[in-house]
């Protein structure tokens, strides 16, 4: 129950998580108990607080931590960590894949969630990543480029610039920005031009490595609550891979 795997519905209302027993079960109540031994046994890595702005907060999510939970439990998710550590409700504004580390925003009330979600939806937030990919991108495509290719029937646009090339390992470190937010967009676009992200278990060939080499290094936007321009960055150096 404490790990978010028990759900209840009363009076025909939608299911919601049951954290602790507050009342006796009544005739007509609907209970769902989900059990996944592997998930419940997980000890998730801890996210780091980057900024607490009251109505929203920014965190550095480590690789291996889910952005949000599932019906089978949420103790191994960023949202649950935020709720417990700040003692406030947490609403997901955007997602990072489980394998991806980096900066992520969390809202703390429905109004903040709506306002921040609008920034992403309307393209008013800078999203910058670093990715270490297979192959010599410069030799094949030059120092910078744009991948403008629809994904799942929707427009998708990824911009990349070379930071460094390792000729011995035949890998390239890229700075990447995205103007849209399709599922696995960076991973799919880079694999599509023949340079998959190292360590990606799903897309590309010849890119085996320990861990997905992709990091969300920066989010920048105008705070909808009047705090001016916000620039949130994960700690990176020129040598930091994805």
Catalytic residues: 97
18 class by beta-carbon count within 10 Å (0-12 exposed, 13-18 middle, 19+ buried): middle
As a whole number of angstroms, the distance between CA 63 and CA 67 comes to 10
* CB count in 10 Å sphere of residue 204: 22
Extract the tokens encoding 9: 């519905």
Cβ 199 vs Cβ 213: under 8 Å:
yes
Is 54 strand, coil or helix?
Answer: coil
Q: How far apart are the first and last CA of the chain?
A: 36
Is 202 strand, coil or helix?
Answer: coil
Q: Are strands 16-17 and 6-9 parallel, antiparallel or unpaired?
A: antiparallel
- The structure tokens 């609403």 sit at 91
């Amino acid at each position: 129950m404490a790990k978010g795997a028990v759900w209840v519905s009363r009076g025909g209302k939608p299911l919601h998580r049951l954290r602790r027993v507050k009342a006796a079960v009544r005739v007509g109540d609907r209970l769902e108990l989900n059990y996944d031994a592997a998930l419940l046994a997980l000890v998730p890595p801890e996210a780091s607080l980057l900024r607490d702005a009251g109505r929203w907060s920014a965190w550095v999510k480590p690789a291996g931590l889910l952005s949000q939970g599932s019906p089978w439990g949420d103790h191994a998710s960023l949202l649950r960590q935020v709720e417990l550590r700040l003692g406030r409700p947490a609403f997901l504004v955007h997602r990072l894949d489980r394998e991806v580390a980096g900066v992520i925003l969390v809202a703390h009330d429905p109004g903040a969630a709506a306002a921040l979600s609008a920034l992403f939806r309307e393209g008013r937030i800078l999203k910058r990543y670093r990715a270490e990919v297979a192959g010599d991108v410069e030799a094949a495509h030059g120092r910078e480029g744009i991948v403008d290719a629809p994904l799942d029937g929707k427009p998708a646009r990824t911009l990349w610039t070379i930071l460094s090339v390792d000729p011995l390992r035949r890998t390239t470190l890229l700075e990447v920005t995205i103007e849209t937010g399709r599922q696995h967009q960076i991973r799919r676009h880079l694999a599509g031009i023949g340079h998959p992200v190292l360590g990606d278990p799903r897309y590309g060939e010849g890119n085996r490595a320990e861990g997905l080499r992709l990091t969300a290094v920066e989010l920048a936007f105008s705070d909808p609550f009047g705090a001016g321009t916000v620039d949130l960055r994960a700690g990176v150096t020129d040598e930091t891979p994805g």
